[in-house]
Structure 1
């Protein structure tokens, strides 16, 4: 094929106006060894595209299960928050002043208040007892740091 036709085909190829048959002719021309110096860049380009066409991937891409787990965990957290807001707002609408459990007798109110504060105190003491483990952890940490 003469050089003028190849250059015209290359101009059409650069504009994206060539047919598959014309592109095949260009690939065949540039697969030969005798290519003019000013067209060597096209030879490299067509050689690269031919090499890429021959390559196939045999291994299937692995799906990252950590990303999927993170996505599903995020979705679950959003649903839990949405349901919590829905049920909280629903329960607050059902309460009115008559349902608040007001006590008119002062002695009974004092007794209930003491029981409630005693219960809160017990829960606080249980939480405080767990802090002993944290203190032991800090002591061990300090011993290790002093050794270094």
Structure 2
């Protein structure tokens, strides 16, 4: 009868339906020397639970962490300060003629822009004039459209 009860408790234990009192009964049964031969498989598992229950953690747990100084952020800040120093210490070179594409006088800049736009316009007009023959192609395709209309009308006549 006890063996039948243990088997039922094992089935409940595997399904996760046992209470703490029933689990204590199982641990007590498997801690004995004599266990039913077909239940010997469970004995090491419950023996492990008993041994594991007696284990204790003996190391000290530090409550305060040591604060380490991160030197990476100091190097990042130093680079940022140097870059800002170089940026703000540069002399104002906005009116020097040796810089490429800069002009001191607005009239000089306007003359340069109009000269560049005139050159672009002349090259564009030359290119557009060589493409004028495409208008003739458009006229030819329009003539082909008239031929399609003639073909449609002849097909209507001959089908009837």
* TM-score relative to the length of structure 2: 0.46
Normalized per residue, which structure has more helix? 1
Q: Which has the higher contact order (CA 8 A, sep 6+)?
A: 1
Structure with larger Rg: 2
* TM-score relative to the length of structure 1: 0.49
